[in-house]
Amino acid sequence: MDMGAILSILDATLRLSTPLLLACLAGLYSERAGVFDIGLEGKMLAAAFGAAAVAAVTGSAWLGLLAGIGVSVATAALQGAAAISLKGNQLIAGVAINMLAAGLCTFLGQQWFRQGGRTPALGPNGRFGTIDLPFANEVAGVPILGPIYSELISGHYILVYVAFLMVPITAYVLYRTRFGLRLRAVGENPKAVDTAGISVVALRYQAVIVTGVLCGLAGAYFSIAQGSGFGNNMTAGKGFIALAALIFAKWKPVPAMFTCLLFGFLDALQIRLQGARLFDVEIPVQAIQALPYVLTVILLAGFIGKAVGPKAGGVAYTKER
């Protein structure tokens, strides 16, 4: 494999890991606050649809992005209402959200646009273009570092940079701010937080809203950056890979980035390896596709370190009376 091939795989890795990373960080906020979220997939799908629909109608990618975030936050708020206020089963709420998003997106898409659930293809203004970083062309000639900068780092959608920027921001918020401290505390020991006079419910809602915003970005990335329009089930289980990544990263932001890069790399490799052979045996593409899930199960089984989630996760908080 030459430099060009390696760069193109890594380039694809960045592109494919972006939605995973955004969704993974999204899940991190709500799960760290003690609200399990298996509805990442649904929120992303809803956001992808909202973004594409509004971008198609208005012709503006930015309005599309806003709409995507709006839809995702609204979905997150509904899920939050079930899981936090009504003290319902958080897992079942997630399942319902996924199913509701899948049904509503297909249904409304078909009703509004009459293209079998797809939204109309977006023009150049309706979707995000790629950004060339400064001096990308000038340094392209520099050996090794030049191509890495101009081909790998430069020339991505703005959401790719946002996603990777969110990693240090999330780490800072989580470990260096009062909000982050409270967020972690509410996921580990909500009673202590309550005793300190801080509202558990309000904190959890804030976390769930942040989750909504980030899922909105992830969903919009699918339909108005990477793709140009919404297609049925276009998130294709990525929300669950993001969930797997979150567990794999043990609910920490920087490991989350590396895990998403790994899973994105596997995805890129899988596309590249169609029909490739190893020791004269064709590598089944499905084996690589299943690898993120298999790795997560192995991790969960405690064979490569132990993944222990936030202690108060999955349980709605009830004040004692």
Partner 1 sequence: MSALRPLPRWADLALLPVLNLLLAVLVSGLVVLMIGQNPLTAIWAIITGAFGNGYNIGYTLYYATNFVFTGLAVALAAHGGLFNIGGNGQAYVAGLGVILVALALQDTHWLIVAPAALVAAAVFGGAWAFIPGYLQAKRGSHVVITTIMFNFIAAALMIYMLNRVLKPAGVSGPESAMIAETGRMPKIGSFFAPFNYTPVNLSIFIALLALVGVYFLIWRTKFGYALRAMGQNPTAARYAGISNSKMIIITMTLSGALAGMVAFNEVLGVQNRLVLDFVADAGFVGIAVALMGRNHPIGIGLAALLFGALYQGGNELQYVISGLDRTVVVIIQALVILFTGAMEGLFRPGLQRTFMLFSPEQKAEAVSRETVGKES
Total residues contacting partner 1 (rule CB under 8 A)? 45
Binding map of partner 1 across residues 256-285, x = CB under 8 A, - = no contact? ----------------------------x-
Q: Contact region for partner 1 (CB under 8 A) — 3-11, 22-30, 96-104, 152-160?
A: 96-104
- Compute the least distance from the CB of residue 80 to partner 1, in Å: 11
Residue 223 DSSP label: I
Q: Contact region for partner 1 (CB under 8 A) — 4-12, 139-147, 202-210, 296-304?
A: 296-304
Is the CB of residue 250 less than 8 Å from the CB of residue 76?
Answer: no
Selected from 92, 121, 165, 169, the binder of partner 1 by CB under 8 A is 92
Instruction: Tell whether residue 218 is a contact of partner 1 (CB under 8 A).
Output: no
Q: Which of 88, 80, 84, 87 is nearest to 43 (CA)?
A: 80
Residue number with CB closer to partner 1 (74 or 95): 95
Burial-class residue 316 by CB neighbours within 10 Å (0-12, 13-18, 19+): buried
Residue number with CB closer to partner 1 (4 or 284): 284
Is the CB of residue 250 less than 8 Å from the CB of residue 24?
Answer: no
- Compute the least distance from the CB of residue 268 to partner 1, in Å: 17
Instruction: Tell whether residue 302 is a contact of partner 1 (CB under 8 A).
Output: yes
The identity of residue 260, as a single letter, is: C
Q: Give the alpha-carbon dihedral of 3, 242, 22, 154, to 10 degrees.
A: 10
Is the CB of residue 102 less than 8 Å from the CB of residue 109?
Answer: no
Determine the Cα–Cα distance for residues 189 and 7; give it in Å rounded to an integer: 45
Instruction: Tell whether residue 76 is a contact of partner 1 (CB under 8 A).
Output: no
Is the CB of residue 217 less than 8 Å from the CB of residue 163?
Answer: yes
The footprint of partner 1 (CB under 8 A) covers 38, 81-83, 85-93, 95-97, 99-100, 102-104, 106-108, 110-111, 237, 240, 243-244, 247, 284, 286-287, 289-290, 293-294, 296-297, 300-302, 309, 321
